[in-house]
């Protein structure tokens, strides 16, 4: 699954276009490297997203094409 879609489905970022823009700006890193929006994410990857002065670090635990809002937090584990 593409990183921009994963960020939207997991609700780490609200909209896919915002996730795409964050990747283009270099604010999304996977395993310590900046990635493009087309990067294929895998379980076990560590995603770091920069939001202004703070950053969020999460480990991918599962990949699902669609999920209910209540269950979206099961797709990642915050570090």
- Collapsing DSSP to helix, strand or coil, 47 comes out as strand
Q: Which domains does the chain have, with CATH numbers?
A: 3-78 (3.10.290.10)
User: Is residue 11 scored above 90 in pLDDT?
Assistant: yes
User: Is residue 51 scored above 90 in pLDDT?
Assistant: no
User: Is residue 52 scored above 90 in pLDDT?
Assistant: no
User: Is residue 48 scored above 90 in pLDDT?
Assistant: yes
Q: What is the mean pLDDT of residues 11-38?
A: 94
pTM (2 d.p.) = 0.90
The dihedral sign for the CA sequence 34, 49, 38, 40:
positive
The residue with greater pLDDT, 45 or 52, is: 45
Q: How far apart are CA 66 and CA 24, in angstroms?
A: 24
């Amino acid at each position: 699954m593409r990183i921009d879609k994963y960020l939207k489905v997991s609700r780490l970022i609200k909209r896919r276009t915002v996730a795409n823009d964050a990747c283009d700006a270099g604010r999304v890193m996977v395993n310590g490297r900046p990635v493009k929006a087309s990067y294929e994410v895998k379980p076990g990857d560590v995603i770091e997203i920069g939001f202004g002065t703070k950053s969020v670090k999460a480990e991918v635990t599962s990949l699902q094409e669609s999920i209910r809002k209540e269950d979206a937090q099961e797709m990642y584990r915050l570090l």
